[in-house]
Amino acid sequence: MTTFAKRTAGLLLVPCLLAGIPAALAQTAPANGKPPVRTETTTYDNWVVTCRASVEKSAKKTCVATMKVTEAKSKKTVLLWQVGQDKAGTPTYLVRTPLGVRLKDGVQITIGKGKPRKIDYASCSRGGCEAIGPFEDAFGKELLTAKEVVASFVLSNGQTVNVTLPITGIAQALPALKG
């Protein structure tokens, strides 16, 4: 390569590199102008606790504990259970079932041989139908000592589905929600 060719190639390369700098800087800044969010995820047996907070000093940390039950063959999620807080800061839990359920029947959560707790469906989307209920202290205490928890829901054809929930790890997951 001649000296002229080397200089020309170098001069052509500089604008290309400089043009890439603003694009690289733009990628590090959030697109919506909000500060970046720090996410921490910890697994406690069958539960995954995810805590999020923006990097600002005054930011409030919010945490959610999630447990999934999947079908062995297809690996599809049969039921998802989340414990956290609603937008007002009230402790709540959400149970997501597949589509094709009878909405009026809601979801029943039974701890051991105790009385079933019914929670109503709030919405359905492509991901399934979600029932939401209050997560009271008494409910949490029962879960901590439970040997078995069963979630039941009724399909649109009238068939009741009982899903035994693997709650191992809940004794560590619930305190972790406090961040």
Asked whether 54 and 34 are in contact (CB, 8 A), the reply is yes
Tens of pLDDT along 48-95? 999 998 777 667 889 999 999 999 899 899 999 999 998 888 999 999
Which positions ≥6 away from 94 have C-beta within 8 Å?
Answer: 80, 81, 82, 84, 130, 131, 132
Q: What is the pLDDT of residue 32?
A: 63
Q: Are the beta carbons of 69 and 77 closer than 8 angstroms?
A: yes
The chain-wide mean pLDDT, for the chain, equals 84
Q: Give me the CATH code for the 37-177 domain, please.
A: 2.60.40.1880
pLDDT band at 128 (very low <50, low <70, confident <90, very high): very high
Cβ proximity of 151 and 163 under 8 Å: yes
Half-sphere exposure of 108 (CA within 13 A, CB side): 17
Cα separations in angstroms, 124 against 62, 96, 132: 24, 9, 12
Q: Work out whether the CA dihedral 7, 11, 13, 18 comes out positive or negative.
A: positive
Per-residue pLDDT at 4: 43
DSSP summary character for residue 20? H
Kindly report the backbone phi and psi dihedral angles of residue 22, in degrees, each rounded to the nearest multiple of 5, phi listed first: -60, -35
CA angle 91, 60, 83 (to 5 degrees): 25
pLDDT in tens, 109-127: 999 999 999 999 999 999 9
Please check the confidence at residue 15 and state whether its pLDDT lies above 70.
no
In the chain, the amino acid numbered 19 is A
Instruction: Average the pLDDT over 19-32 and give the result.
Output: 44
